[in-house]
Amino acid sequence: MLKEINIKAFGSCSSISKIIFPYMLEYIGASAFDSCAYLTQITFSNSLKAINESAFDGCKNLIKIDLPDSLEIIGEMAFKSCSSLQELNLPENLRFIGVNAFYGTNLRKITICMKSEVKIGEKVFGPLNQLEELVFYSNNYEILKFIQSSPIHKITFDSILISNIPVLNSSQYLENLIIKDHGIPVSFINHFVVSHNISIYVYGNIRSIESDSFVDAGIKEFVYCGNDTVSGDFLTRALSCNSVQCSKNYKKNTFGGKRITYNTDICKDYSPNTGMSKTTKIILSVIIPIGAISIIVGIIWALKLRKEHNAINSKLLIQRLVVEDFG
C-alpha cells in the first residue's frame, strides 16, 4: 500500500492534469510535483499528514485545493508560484506552515479551521492583492498579521470557540462583517474597525462593546439578532451610522445610543426564549426523536419481559395445581 511519494517523483511532468491520491497516502515528498504546469485538480488522501517543501511549487494552473483534516505539515514553498490558486482551506490539525508556502498565489478566499497552536513561517503568502474573503471556523487569528495590506471585503466568524472578536483595523476596505450565533456572547474592543462603508451582522448575543469600538468607522447598517440588552452609546461615536436593525424580540427602542430603524426579519432563526442557535436547534431536533424512540423501545422491552414473567408464573402455578391434585 502506497504511503509516500518520493522526492522529485513527478517533477516537471507536463502530462499530468489531474491527481487522485490513494486513500492510505501519508507523505508527499519534496518537489514531488514541482513545475507540473498543466496540473489543475488534486484530490488528497484523508490520511495525508505532510506536504513537504516545494511539493507543488510552480503548478501555475492549479485553481483550488481541499486540504484534508488529517494534514499536519505544509512545507516551505509547498504551493509557491501556484499563480491560479484562488481558494484555500487551512484544516484544523495543521501544526506547521513553512516559509513562502503560498507565496505567489492569487488567493481570493481563505477558510481558517486550524487550532491556535500552529507555527507559521515568514512571508507565508506574500502580497495578496486579490484576497476578498476570510472565514474563521476557529479562534486562530494569527493569519491576520500576514494579510494586512489585502483588500478584504468580507469576514465571517463561525465557531463556538469565538467570544472575543479580533481587531480588524487593518482591513480598511471591509464591507461585510458576519458573526454567526453559537450560543456564546461576543465582545468588541476599542478601535475595532476603520472601514467607512461597513455592514455588521451579529446573529447571537453581545456581551459588551467598548465606547470607541467604531469611532473610526462609517457604518452602513448594524444588524443585531440577540436578545440581551447592550449598554453604551458606541454607535453615536462612529463616523456615521445609517441604519440600526434589531430582532423583533429586542426590548429597547435604541441600540448603541441610536434609535432602532426597524425590527428585521433577518433574525427569524434566533430563539428569543432559549438563545439557541440554529445549529443547536438542528442537533436537538435529531437528539430528541432518538431519545423518544429509545424510551418507546425500552417500554416495549419492559412489557415483553413482564409478559414472559407472567407466562412463567402461570406455568409454575399450573404445575403446582397438577401436583396437588394428582400427587
**Using an 8 Å Cβ cutoff, are 31 and 11 in contact?**
yes
Alpha-helical (H) ranges within 86-158 are none
pLDDT at res. 295: 75
Question: What is the chain's length?
Answer: 327
pLDDT at res. 115: 86
pLDDT at res. 308: 64
Alpha-helical (H) ranges within the chain are 278-326
Provide Rg for the chain, Cα atoms: 29
Reading the block at residue 271, the C-alpha cell is: 430563539
User: What dihedral do alpha carbons 47, 102, 111, 196 form, nearest 10°?
Assistant: 170
Alpha-carbon distance of 327 to 319, in angstroms, equals: 11
Q: How many CB atoms lie within 10 A of CB 55?
A: 28
Q: What is the CATH number of domain 1-130?
A: 3.80.10.10
Q: Which residues contact 143 (CB under 8 A, 6 or more apart)?
A: 90, 110, 112, 120, 134
**Using an 8 Å Cβ cutoff, are 209 and 256 in contact?**
yes
pLDDT at res. 229: 94
**Using an 8 Å Cβ cutoff, are 69 and 91 in contact?**
yes
pLDDT digit of tens for each residue in the chain (327 aa)? 789 999 999 999 988 999 999 999 999 999 999 999 999 999 999 999 999 999 999 999 998 899 999 999 999 999 999 999 999 999 999 999 999 999 999 999 999 999 878 999 999 999 999 999 999 999 999 999 998 889 999 999 999 999 999 999 889 999 999 999 999 999 999 999 999 999 999 999 999 999 999 999 999 999 999 999 999 999 999 999 999 999 988 989 999 999 998 777 788 655 544 444 444 444 555 566 666 677 776 677 666 666 666 655 555 444 554 445 545
- Report which of 80, 103, 90, 101 is spatially closest to residue 34, judged by C-alpha positions: 80
